[in-house]
Chain A
């Protein structure tokens, strides 16, 4: 499989990265080089192999249903949450108007 300019443009759009025509042109051979190289995995017989799920055998821990048990993972920290916002007003984040 190889990608063309249109495919790269579509991927860039999915990834929300604006690219110029020139950048697109340059990316096509680069990405194809990498993709062709990784495609050698296709030659490995994996018909009886499960995909890796946990690199170290371990299962998911669950936490108790307690609000703000640890300040680092709790809420009630609007100032900290908004501290780095490019635009914050009246306790909200501001973004360009969205028309739904």
Chain B
């Protein structure tokens, strides 16, 4: 019999529907993998095998009665621990939320359960989704299942959705939710040979997702391939009246409309992304991507996104500013950690609780954010950043007058070793150089595994699309995928 944990979303959905295997068998297989890998990979903060089984039993029962199983019927998934899950600890990988059991379910997770998916557990991440390596989690690093050839050094699975990327790469889950604020789906997907898409801002409801930077946060799927992402995104997305920024648009049938034929499409190659000192392997892969898309029938043109170099600094003003305010609610009064030193007054309690409850990177960003919003600095930093953000967005609009999608690398390097960048926040931030611009413009963007580095580590290519055109992104992703034939998997060592 096939190893069920080698299957992806579509295969499981179809197999369960066809009766090739039961949903319970699938859930049990993945539950076993989750348990076996926990010590080595630390991908989950909490495992919920009973939830996975419960959902699987419900799917099997439905099938017995001949009912519709849903878009994700019988598919167990991992849930990034940024999504509030009813009565299941939700921490954002922070100490300050340790033990917090929401009495509500996020819209996106509820949509997935309604579509027949089950929850394997809550996935580890960078604390409050702030990080690119998963090293800021209070619950310890996630270890990438990938290793360099001939090395046992522990690698970063990317971040912030590092638990998600590691879990999918290590076959602990056929798919997982991620969230992307500046690259937190695409960068970990690239680092682990998985596929992830951040949809247009507003496609997936933010209701019940622990907020990092409200104007940037967007949920999306991480899975083995493009088709699986399309299926899962259909289940996650949709208008939510509880989120004032939610897009009031129908969810397209992305899976059904998938097509790797790019005839008549134009792909833009942004010249500003070709940066000095760029990794030769990445440049080569990018060129290879151009060739593949041409092969798929697309016309390829050079485009210019002149404000690209300002995207990261813009991001590192706006995201911390919003975060400094979004994270003010963690004060030890209504939930989570309270640190009340002897004789402390209310304000002392806040300061002590927040000092004990937030990790270093979170504090750093809160302080930056507080500073850039403070009296006398607001216009120079925040207002200027929002103006530059307008320019960045306009760059894309102009480019999309000439092309349908943009092809770029996802990351400037393959996965780095854990500990490599921790002492230098700036060099860590530079990881998101290719992913941040699309986030600032709210555009759909996807990372597709496209090759291996000379050390045998996965490399990803990024497709950026027009607002609302997830289909264009997915189709270009499919075209790359079909040609890249990326089948590499981390050898099981855990």
Direct contact of A and B (CB under 8 A): yes
Interface of A toward B, CB cutoff 8 Å: 1, 3, 7-8, 11-19, 27, 30-31, 33-35, 37-42, 44, 46, 49-56, 58, 60-61, 63, 70, 72-73, 77, 80-81, 83-87, 93, 95-99
Give which listed residue, A55, A58, A93, contacts B333 with CB less than 8 A.
A93
Q: Cα distance A19–B367 when bound, in Å? A: 11
Q: Cα distance A97–B442 when bound, in Å? A: 45
Is B307's CB under 8 angstroms from A44's CB?
Answer: yes
Is B349's CB under 8 angstroms from A41's CB?
Answer: no
- Which residues on A sit within 8 Å (CB–CB) of B348? 18, 96
- Least CB distance, A81 to chain B, in whole angstroms: 8
- Which residues on A sit within 8 Å (CB–CB) of B316? 34, 37-38
- Least CB distance, B422 to chain A, in whole angstroms: 12
Tell me how many residue pairs across A and B have CB atoms closer than 8 Å.
175
Q: Cα distance A43–B293 when bound, in Å? A: 37
Give which listed residue, A11, A17, A51, A84, contacts B101 with CB less than 8 A.
A84
Q: Cα distance A87–B247 when bound, in Å? A: 39
- Which residues on B sit within 8 Å (CB–CB) of A40? 310, 313
- Which residues on B sit within 8 Å (CB–CB) of A77? 103
- Least CB distance, A98 to chain B, in whole angstroms: 5
Within 8 A of A (CB), among B245-259: 245, 247-248
- Which residues on A sit within 8 Å (CB–CB) of B354? 15-18
- Which residues on B sit within 8 Å (CB–CB) of A15? 324, 354, 366-367, 370
- Which residues on A sit within 8 Å (CB–CB) of B368? 31, 34-35
Is B426's CB under 8 angstroms from A95's CB?
Answer: no
Is B351's CB under 8 angstroms from A18's CB?
Answer: yes
Is B426's CB under 8 angstroms from A34's CB?
Answer: yes
Is B355's CB under 8 angstroms from A17's CB?
Answer: yes
Between-chain CB contacts (< 8 Å), 27 pairs: A3-B371, A8-B367, A16-B328, A16-B347, A30-B364, A31-B364, A31-B371, A34-B316, A34-B364, A41-B314, A41-B317, A41-B381, A41-B385, A44-B384, A44-B387, A49-B390, A50-B387, A54-B245, A56-B442, A56-B467, A58-B245, A58-B247, A61-B244, A72-B242, A80-B103, A84-B335, A96-B340
